[in-house]
Structure 1
Amino acid sequence: MTVTRHDRETGASFVIRLDSTRLGPAAGGTRAAHYPSFADALTDAGKLASAMTLKMAVSNLPMGGGKSVIALPAQRNDIDPATWNRILTLHAENIDKLRGNYWTGPDVNTNSADMDVLNETTDYVFGRSLERGGAGSSAYNTALGVFEAMKATARHRGLGSLDGLTVLIQGLGAVGGGLATLASAAGARLLVADTDSDRLAWARGSGHTVIGADEVLGTACDIFAPCAMGGIIDSATAARLPASAVVGAANNILADNTAAAILRKRGILYAPDFVTNAGGAFHLVGREVLGWNEETVVEHTRRISDTLTEVFTISDAESTATDTAARLLARRRIETSVQAGAATAPR
């Protein structure tokens, strides 16, 4: 199901994509970006919603997959506060009309303060500020999950611990920056790239090596961690990427269906992003739906390494790409959950 809307006053267009509600209401963050065309926004929403279905299923969370995309008339930083507030209010109206079949939270270019604004119109919001009774930002927990996945990947790839490894992080936002801190503390040598001068100044002050944004895909490293926008690795990139493993926080890291097979053929171990970046879902769904405390959230987040190890085991046993193995595991968990629900339903 896809819901769309255009607002002439602001020039913004809205997309809400519900991919699956088999395990529960569809859930997925609100992404705001300036797209080349509305068709690109629709495509992005579809891919992101599908990834959320897989993420919820493979993480054993009782939610389906969905996503919101707001196609902005300009870059987010160029939108004035009054216009942004109207955009958020209209988006909240769109969500509320779905009557709980879709829940949203923060994503690219949205945050807890924005969720507070949405919550003035609709109840179906995750990630409100702590002051408004929400779980707050999920960034640290997302970074922690990627960090645990990175360690599991290094072990499976035969690289040992992260100590002494070269890790290249693309994107130093709240998640990428947190991942950099965790990986550095574990002894990794950090190469980082970003387009924000303040983030790069922080990286230099932290002793990390800064490389140009155009150097990312050609710089040798042990682990490449895409933590910005998705679609960074297509077939051509996969054929020449100078890394031993790929473990990132970005959604939909692979741009096409053959990239995963090419990485496998070259011996580059890919950790599927909908497994590695599930820490944010544990934080939001765990705290706000399941009533978990922070200790329980962290416990489940650290188990991402166990799920990823299971994915690698399936990949090895089936002689298939890790992305295919992760999708197989997600489908298995969906069917198991549906069958368990059917068995316990009142008759």
Structure 2
Amino acid sequence: MSVFSHIDFDQHEQVIYSQDKSSGLKAIIAIHDTSLGPALGGCRMWPYSNDELALRDVLRLSRGMSYKSALANLPLGGGKAVIIGDPRSGKSEALFQAMGDFVESLGGRYITAADSGTGVAEMQIMAQRTRHVAGADPREALDGGSRDGDPSPSTAYGVFVGLQAAVQHRLGRSDLNGLKVAIQGVGQVGFGLAQQLKAAGAQLWVSDIFAANERRAVEQLGAIAVGQHEIYGLDVDVFAPCAMGGILNLQTLEALRAPVIAGAANNQLADAQLAEELQRRGCLYAPDYAINAGGIIDVCYERTGGSAAQVRAHVESIGDTLRQIFQRAEAEGCTTSVIADRLAQERLHAGRR
């Protein structure tokens, strides 16, 4: 299949492939839109079972990054990188040096950062070969302390703020004490979200493909671990997808009982039309690229300068954005996805003038 006729192509500016035999690198970078600024998006490493899945992921993710930056009012475009490989067994310094060379070859049109399967250590290796990398240096934390360049705490905080906005709109609750939340995926972002929900008095159920992540949530937060399929059908107030995308499909929606969906995962809907089914069922969906923008906000400030207080205030504006989306969707009889897309497209269009 030609990439131009791919269902998820959506007028991408560039899609670039790279292979380095000596290191074993096989990677794709997709640049969706640079109307507002250089394309910024994470570098994901995942053991895709075939190249088509990798291509679909990078196309959908890069488009989401364009919309995410636009909704967050950032001077950035949207891009994404995927490395085809197992992050638990396939990493090497040579591989990430080669990836750094790949990023450098684009001359700054694409800026990379950490994502699923990569972290600060990998960004630091890539930074040996390119300056177009974010999240490699230590910086001030949101609480005023210090931390490494990992933006996941800001992502988690943004999701927490957005979840609060969704709960208030759909359930009429401003207090999260006693709120029942099912979190799918308790890695860096999911666990950070779980910590904040626990501190707010919420009850937690968790599931993760890695047993160690589940154990940490159980032992440190008192969460209840459930099976990977059981997590969908729990009688909870909020379902928070914080793992991989495409997990909301016709099969999982049949089991889903939560009236609110608010989580950190990208591309949560396997098909965009599923937003209409969620609306029909009275389920409030917080569009993923609106609620999980905390990390890209953090990375943007790393590049442009700004204090932790400024980052925190900007991340907290995610709640205002979602409230606007929820209210407009209700007033216009549209899905929250349609309204979020419309807002993002309006801002991208303005940037092209």
Q: Could you state the TM-score of these two structures normalised by the residue count of structure 1?
A: 0.92
Match 2:131 to one of 96, 109, 123: 123
Deviation string 1:195-241 (CA, Å, 9 cap, x unpaired) is 32322222222211111122112222110001011111013433441
Q: Is the CA contact 1:135–1:283 (under 8 Å) kept in the aligned structure 2?
A: no
What letter corresponds to residue 280 of structure 2 in structure 1?
Answer: K
Determine if the alignment matches structure 1 residue 106 to structure 2 residue 123.
no
User: How far apart, in 2, do the equivalents of 1:324 and 1:69 lie?
Assistant: 27
- Which position in structure 2 is the counterpart of 1:95? 103
Determine if the alignment matches structure 1 residue 311 to structure 2 residue 325.
yes
Match 2:92 to one of 80, 84, 97: 84
User: How far apart, in 1, do the equivalents of 2:253 and 2:238 lie?
Assistant: 14
- Which position in structure 1 is the counterpart of 2:286? 271
User: How far apart, in 2, do the equivalents of 1:29 and 1:247 lie?
Assistant: 21
The 1:225/1:134 distance shift into structure 2, 3 A limit, reads: closer
The percentage of aligned residue pairs carrying the same residue is: 37
- Which position in structure 1 is the counterpart of 2:259? 244
Deviation string 1:7-55 (CA, Å, 9 cap, x unpaired) is 3344431100000000001110000011111121111100000000000
Determine if the alignment matches structure 1 residue 55 to structure 2 residue 68.
yes
Deviation string 1:261-292 (CA, Å, 9 cap, x unpaired) is 10000000000010110000111102222x11
**Worse-superposed segment, 2-11 or 265-274:** 2-11
CA RMSD of aligned residues (A): 1.7
User: How far apart, in 2, do the equivalents of 1:92 and 1:281 lie?
Assistant: 20
User: How far apart, in 1, do the equivalents of 2:147 and 2:299 lie?
Assistant: 9
User: How far apart, in 1, do the equivalents of 2:223 and 2:125 lie?
Assistant: 37
- Which position in structure 2 is the counterpart of 1:44? 57
The alignment covers a number of residue pairs equal to: 332
Q: After TM superposition, what 4+ stretches of structure 1 lie above 6 angstroms from structure 2?
A: none
User: How far apart, in 2, do the equivalents of 1:316 and 1:122 lie?
Assistant: 46
User: How far apart, in 1, do the equivalents of 2:215 and 2:147 lie?
Assistant: 32
User: How far apart, in 1, do the equivalents of 2:152 and 2:298 lie?
Assistant: 9
SS at match of 2:30: strand
Task: Tell me the CA shift for residue 338 of structure 1.
Answer: 4.4
What letter corresponds to residue 274 of structure 2 in structure 1?
Answer: A
What letter corresponds to residue 160 of structure 2 in structure 1?
Answer: F
Task: Tell me the CA shift for residue 322 of structure 1.
Answer: 0.4
Determine if the alignment matches structure 1 residue 19 to structure 2 residue 32.
yes
Task: Tell me the CA shift for residue 87 of structure 1.
Answer: 1.3
In structure 1, the gaps of 5 or more residues are 340-347
In structure 2, the gaps of 5 or more residues are 1-13, 140-145
Q: How does 1:169-180 map to 2 (within 5 A)?
A: 169-180=183-194
What letter corresponds to residue 224 of structure 1 in structure 2?
Answer: F
Match 1:141 to one of 145, 154, 164: 154
The 1:236/1:200 distance shift into structure 2, 3 A limit, reads: closer
Task: Tell me the CA shift for residue 333 of structure 1.
Answer: 2.1
SS at match of 2:78: strand
Q: Is the CA contact 1:27–1:104 (under 8 Å) kept in the aligned structure 2?
A: yes
Determine if the alignment matches structure 1 residue 217 to structure 2 residue 238.
no
What letter corresponds to residue 137 of structure 2 in structure 1?
Answer: S
User: How far apart, in 1, do the equivalents of 2:273 and 2:42 lie?
Assistant: 27
- Which position in structure 1 is the counterpart of 2:199? 185
SS at match of 2:92: helix
Determine if the alignment matches structure 1 residue 166 to structure 2 residue 166.
no
